[in-house]
Amino acid sequence: MTRVNFKLQGFSQLKEGTLHDDFQKITIDEKQYNIDQLKFDNPITGTLYGTLLNYKGEYEQLKPEMNDKPYQKPPQAPVLYIKPINTLSTHQNPIPLPEGEEQVQVGAALGLVIGKTATKVKAEEAYEYIKGYTIVNDVSLPFSSYYRPAIKQKARDGFCPIGPWIINQNDIKDPHNLAIKVSINGEVKQENYTGNLIRPIPELVSEVTEFMTLYEGDVLLIGVPENQPLAKEGDQVSIEIEQVGRLNNRVVHEDNVFVSEVAVDEAR
Amino acid sequence: MKQGRVLYESTLHHVTELDGKVQLKDGRLIEEHEVEWLPPVETETIFTLGLNYADHAKELSFTSPLPEPLVFLKGKNTITGHRGTTVRPEDVEFMHYECELAVVIGKSGKNIKKEEALDYVKGYTVANDYAFRDYLENYFRPNLRVKNRDGCTPVGPWFVSKEEIEDPMNLQLRTYVNGEKTQEGSTKDMILGIPELIEYLSSFMTLNDGDMILTGTPKGSVDTKVGDEVMTEVEGVGRLTNTIVSE
Pairwise CB contact (< 8 Å): A82 & B150 = no
Cα-Cα-Cα-Cα torsion B129, A143, A65, A220, nearest 10 degrees, comes to 60
Question: Please, how many CA atoms are within 13 Å of residue B71, restricted to the half-sphere of its CB?
Answer: 23
Residue among A211, A215, A219 with most chain B CBs within 10 A, to mutate: A211
Task: Measure in Å the smallest separation between the Cα of B178 and chain A Cα atoms.
Answer: 27
Q: For Cα atoms B85, B90, B91, give the angle at the middle one, nearest 5 degrees.
A: 130
Residues of A with a Cβ under 8 Å from any B Cβ are: 47, 49, 52-53, 70-73, 75-82, 84-87, 98, 119, 146-152, 155-157, 211-215
DSSP A173: S
pLDDT in tens, B150-160: 999 999 999 99
* Class of the domain covering B39-246: alpha beta
DSSP bridge pairs for B53? B190
Confidence band, pLDDT 50/70/90 cuts, at residue A261: low
Find, among B109, B122, B127, the residue nearest to B207 by Cα.
B109
Residue B25 CB contacts under 8 Å (≥ 6 apart), including other chains? B13, B14, B15
For chain B, residues classed under CATH 3.90.850.10 are: 39-246
From B144's Cα to the closest Cα of chain A, the distance in A is 6
Q: What is the DSSP letter of B92?
A: -
With CB atoms and an 8 Å threshold, state whether B141 touches A151. Answer: no
| Residue A25 in domain | no
What does the pLDDT read at residue A266?
46
pLDDT tens, B53-68? 987 777 776 666 667 8
Which CA distances in Å does A93 have to A44, A96, A252? Answer: 15, 9, 10
> Could you say which of A53, A151, A214 has the minimum Cβ distance to residue B139?
A53
Greater pLDDT, B138 or B64: B138
A147 CB neighbours in chain B (<8 A) are 138-141
Please name every residue paired with A181 in a beta bridge, in sequence order, or none if there are none.
A191, A240
Give mean pLDDT, residues A91-108: 97
Res B64: pLDDT: 63
| Confidence band of A267 (pLDDT split at 50, 70, 90) | very low
* Domain B1-38, CATH among 2.102.10.10, 3.40.640.10, 3.40.50.300, 2.30.30.370: 2.30.30.370
Say if A252 falls within a structural domain.
Answer: yes
Domain encompassing residue A199: 44-267
> With the CA atoms of B75, B76, B78 and B82 taken in that order, what torsion angle do they form, in degrees rounded to the nearest 10?
150
**pLDDT surpasses 60 at A193:** yes
- The pLDDT confidence band at residue A46, using thresholds 50, 70 and 90, is very high
| ipTM given for this complex | 0.94
* CB within 8 Å: B140 and A148: yes
* Whole-number average pLDDT of chain B: 95
What is the structure's pLDDT at B63? Answer: 63
β-strand partners of A31: A28
- Whole-number mean pLDDT of chain A? 94
pLDDT tens figures, A27-44? 999 999 999 999 999 999
> Would the CB atoms of A81 and B144 count as touching at under 8 Å?
yes
Q: How does DSSP classify residue B155?
A: B
Residue A261 identity (one-letter amino acid): E
What mean pLDDT do residues A70-75 have? 96
